[in-house]
Amino acid sequence: DAGVIQSPRHEVTEMGQEVTLRCKPISGHNSLFWYRQTMMRGLELLIYFNNNVPIDDSGMPEDRFSAKMPNASFSTLKIQPSEPRDSAVYFCASSLKGSGGGPNEQYFGPGTRLTVT
Amino acid sequence: GENVGLHLPTLSVQEGDNSIINCAYSNSASDYFIWYKQESGKGPQFIIDIRSNMDKRQGQRVTVLLNKTVKHLSLQIAATQPGDSAVYFCAENRGSGGSNYKLTFGKGTLLTVNP
């Protein structure tokens, strides 16, 4: 079975440019997460969707960041305009939130390494 | 503030030895814990999880121990192999009710297995 798919795997862009990261969650999963990983701050949750609806975006750094999930099989994370401090690895993860509501394991994609110069 | 932290940032073992990676957590309300393995250039990979109503859980070559009294979590890897070399993260679920999806990750321990 295919895991979480992310594209592109690497992105190098200049400051001020728009960046769009893409994610396809595992089929059948109903929860999707965007994380950012840096050496200084580790893994940080940016936003969480459940059944395509954003539930918690408190981790989104600022208005330059936005995320959408138009359907159950696709999500985007957009940075506009990008800045050098946005350089990081961005991970998408998905999980199946059970009817009992308890937490379950999250499956991560391979990540997108973003470099903003 | 409350953090999930690791006692040892690096661990070096010989192939075939058993490895123990430790994790301390500070939120006594956390009720779900996961260990992830992250190899260079890859995303975190789920290894094993444990809920707070258990104190031990075993998988293939791995065992997770949970000591709620001292808020300590450990991952034991039996007969460590070179392929086990990676960064290992513990993560805790602190949320309750509507926020029970949130995982808070520790900073990770780098495990190096020497042949």
Per-residue pLDDT tens digits for B67-110:
999 999 999 999 999 999 999 999 998 755 555 677 888 889 99
Tell me the C-alpha to C-alpha distance, in Å, between residue A54 and each of A2, A32, B95. 24, 9, 17
Q: Quick: pLDDT tens for B51-66.
A: 989 999 999 999 999 9
**A106:B46 CB<8 A:** yes
- Ranges A44-48, A103-107, B19-23, B82-86: which has the least confidence: A103-107
pLDDT(B5) > 70:
no
User: What's the pLDDT at A39?
Assistant: 85
* Separation of alpha carbons A67 and B112, rounded Å: 37
* Separation of alpha carbons A17 and A12, rounded Å: 10
Residues 46-65 of chain A with CB under 8 A from chain B are: 48, 50, 55-56
- CA dihedral for A99, B44, B41, A81, sign (positive or negative): positive
User: What's the pLDDT at B6?
Assistant: 39
